[in-house]
Amino acid sequence: MHHFIPVIFSLLAFIGLQVNVQSSGRHSESSIERSFVSLLMVPNGMWYGLWGDREMCPRGTYAAGFSLKVEKLTHDIWDNTALNGIRLHCVSLSKDSNSYEEDSSVKSEIGSWGEWTETKWCPSGFLTAFQLRVQTPQGIGDDTAANNIRFNCSQGYFLQGDGTDRGEWGAWSPPCQGRGMCGIRTRIEEPQGIKDDSALNDVRIFCCD
């Protein structure tokens, strides 16, 4: 019996190792490392909160659309958060732009408030540059940080998100090098309890060949 116990523990350890290996293999392909050729940033992002993980479209796909998580502004509530999340919708090169159906979608960290808007698609091509609408610090007033985002598409089209209207539009990012956008990383302020919340503060976008 005493010789049998180590065998049982060895078997359990082996099974546990197998489970861990299989679990690690079940991550969505969007979380797999993918090389990128350029990183797009804008100068007017806010600095509250922490950067989330970089999330990439699966290999061979690029962002052709986006949707936003938005808490609509309400004047009877003091603490608004406006833009809470950005999701990129990724499609393969072989998809017909007249009948886009996403292969996958990716998002980095998101805030705790709001609802997702409908997806907006490039009529053709992929997302290639962005512009962020940001409210500067309000002192003792209500901070909302990022409020909305715009994207340019590779065939010259322009898309504006269904965000909110506080703050001002900043400068456009440089255009993508490569085919188009393929990944995202967002800066999110965690819930502050009784203090002022601002949710999404800044975003960085990755471009791939």
- How many angstroms separate the CA atoms of 159 and 162, rounded? 10
CATH numbers and ranges of domains, the chain = 31-208 (2.100.10.20)
Could you read off the pLDDT of 66-119 as tens digits, one per residue?
Answer: 999 999 987 655 678 899 999 999 999 876 555 556 689 999 999 999 999 999
Could you read off the pLDDT of 177-201 as tens digits, one per residue?
Answer: 999 999 999 999 988 777 778 999 9
Could you read off the pLDDT of 110-168 as tens digits, one per residue?
Answer: 999 999 999 999 999 999 999 999 999 887 777 889 999 999 999 899 999 999 999 99
Q: What is the pTM of this model?
A: 0.80
Could you read off the pLDDT of 23-61 as tens digits, one per residue?
Answer: 333 334 445 689 999 999 999 999 999 999 999 999 999
Enter the tokens of residue 180. Answer: 């188009």
Tokens 């099974």 sit at which residue? 15
Enter the tokens of residue 198. Answer: 């601002």
Burial class of 49 by CB neighbour count within 10 A (0 to 12, 13 to 18, 19+):
buried
